[in-house]
Amino acid sequence: MATIVSLDPRVTRMEIEQDPGSAPEPKAELDQFPTFEVFHQERTGAHHVHVGSVHAPNADLALLLAKEQYGRRGQTVNLWVVNTRDVVTMSAGDADIFVTTPEKTYRDVGAYMVRNKVEAYKKQMGDQKS
């Protein structure tokens, strides 16, 4: 019988056999809750941004638990939860589809000369007001 380390259940709650000679028991299949992806909205009108996931038995509880995991600090006005199984995704092996995209700088916003025109227009409007 080992010495009692602590009566605090946080310390002693795991009663694990400490016999290195015996083979480990095969683990039972995990009965974990499914996961839900959480989307957080900081201000009214802003995009909902994916911030992580929560374990929950259903969507109602996922929303409830998401509130504390992702909405207990800073600003929040709304949350979405989506069952992870409902997220349709590309295969990781298909990342090569995007390999040449960074080269196509003509698609970048910086490639357009609109900015100068906008600046000029703003200046013109400002001049008219004053």
Partner 1 sequence: MNQDAVKDLLVRMADDVLILAHRHSEWTGLGPVLEEDIAFSSVAQDKLGHAQALYAILHEHFGMPDPDVMAFGRAEADMRSCHFVELPNAEYDFSLVRHLLFDASEYVRWSALRESSFEPLAKLAHKIHGELKYHLYHAQTWIVQLGSQGSEESKARMQSALNAAWPYALGLFESRSGDADLVASGFFPGEDALRAEWEVLVQGILEKSSLTMPHDHAAVLGGRDGYHSEFLAPLLVEMTEVYRIDPSATW
Name the site residues for partner 1 (rule: CB under 8 A): 9-10, 13, 33, 54-58, 60-61, 64-65, 67-69, 72
Q: How far is the CB of 48 from partner 1 (least distance, A)?
A: 19
Residue 10 or 104 with smaller CB distance to partner 1: 10
Q: Which two tokens stand for residue 96?
A: 């090569």
Give the sign of the dihedral formed by CA 97, CA 98, CA 101, CA 103. Answer: negative
Q: How far is the CB of 54 from partner 1 (least distance, A)?
A: 5
Residue 10 or 27 with smaller CB distance to partner 1: 10
Residue 77 or 97 with smaller CB distance to partner 1: 77
How many CB atoms within 10 Å of residue 83? 14
Enter the DSSP assignment of 94.
G
